[in-house]
């Protein structure tokens, strides 16, 4: 899978995608992330990418021309199944959307800044608008990093234990059960006996019960879905 990301702040995206599982995904050739610096498409000798908004009001708006030139250049090189604009007024990201997007071949992400992007870019190019939650970030880059991470780890072969993504929180609309590692006792806190029993069907049942209980307590909305 290839993901292209259009941004005015490439540095903000480099580090989050160069470690741990995202690093492995790229090293194994399962995920290719290409960051496109919008500044290169900026206008004039200052490479301008934003301007004052029509109608007045505080805050700059990202101009259509550099974005259009950038998107057209990328689209001429490959076909994108989705062109995604990261924005707080998009559909709220969830595991189901991540699962669906992980099946695509090429995705193009557009990171907004300032007051956002000229509406005509959204009308002409954008096929999907995604928000990562009900709060406002200063730009789309951190949201893009979240989206790439959540998709990238689902690609077959990225996680070492092939099945492990299937047991994540949210995959069955259930939160994950509690987990423990050594030592068996630390300053009076003990690991539940069942996990030491060696009875794997009983352990699985316990985990399921714990997941259910945790979901009922913390996220009853997930069970209602």
Q: Which residues bind ligand 6GU (CB under 6 A)?
A: 86-88, 130-133, 135-137, 139-140, 143
Beta carbon nearer to ligand 6GU, 137 or 191: 137
CA distance linking residue 87 with residue 112, whole number of Å:
7
CA distance linking residue 64 with residue 207, whole number of Å:
51
Give the residue from 179, 127, 142, 159 showing the smallest Cα distance to 21: 159
Beta carbon nearer to ligand 6GU, 67 or 86: 86
Closest approach of Cβ 119 to ligand 6GU, in Å? 16
Closest approach of Cβ 85 to ligand 6GU, in Å? 8
Closest approach of Cβ 206 to ligand 6GU, in Å? 36
| Beta strand spans in the chain (E) | 2-7, 32-37, 50-52, 60-62, 82-92, 106-111, 128-131, 185-186, 189-190
Beta carbon nearer to ligand 6GU, 92 or 190: 92
Beta carbon nearer to ligand 6GU, 117 or 165: 117
Q: What are phi and psi of 198, to 5 degrees?
A: 80, 0
Closest approach of Cβ 132 to ligand 6GU, in Å? 4
Beta carbon nearer to ligand 6GU, 7 or 131: 131
Write the CA distances from 75 to 48, 72, 108, 168, 212, integer angstroms.
22, 5, 9, 34, 45
Closest approach of Cβ 7 to ligand 6GU, in Å? 12
Helix (H, G, I), strand (E, B) or coil at 33: strand
Beta carbon nearer to ligand 6GU, 42 or 140: 140
Exposed / middle / buried, residue 133 (Cβ in 10 Å: 0-12, 13-18, 19+): exposed
Helix (H, G, I), strand (E, B) or coil at 189: strand
Write the CA distances from 209 to 77, 123, 132, 176, integer angstroms.
50, 47, 29, 10
Closest approach of Cβ 147 to ligand 6GU, in Å? 8
């Amino acid at each position: 899978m290839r993901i292209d990301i259009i941004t005015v702040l490439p540095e903000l995206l480099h580090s989050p995608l160069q470690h741990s599982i995202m690093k492995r995904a790229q090293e194994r050739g399962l995920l290719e992330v290409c960051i496109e610096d919008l500044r290169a498409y900026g206008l004039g000798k200052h490479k301008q990418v934003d301007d004052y908004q029509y109608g007045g009001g505080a805050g700059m708006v990202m101009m259509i021309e550099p974005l259009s030139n950038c998107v057209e250049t990328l689209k001429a090189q490959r076909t994108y199944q989705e062109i995604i604009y990261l924005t707080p007024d998009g559909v709220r990201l969830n595991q189901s959307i991540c699962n669906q997007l992980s099946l695509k071949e090429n995705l193009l992400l557009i990171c907004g800044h300032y007051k956002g992007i000229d509406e005509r870019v959204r009308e002409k190019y954008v096929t999907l608008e995604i928000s990562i939650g009900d709060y406002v970030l200063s730009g789309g880059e951190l949201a893009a990093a979240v989206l790439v991470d959540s998709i990238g780890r689902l690609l077959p072969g990225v996680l070492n234990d092939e099945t492990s993504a299937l047991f994540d929180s949210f995959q069955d609309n259930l939160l994950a059960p509690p987990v423990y590692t050594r030592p068996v006792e630390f300053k009076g806190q003990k690991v539940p006996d069942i996990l030491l029993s060696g009875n794997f069907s009983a352990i699985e049942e316990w985990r399921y019960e714990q997941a259910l209980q945790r979901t009922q307590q913390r996220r009853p909305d997930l069970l209602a879905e």
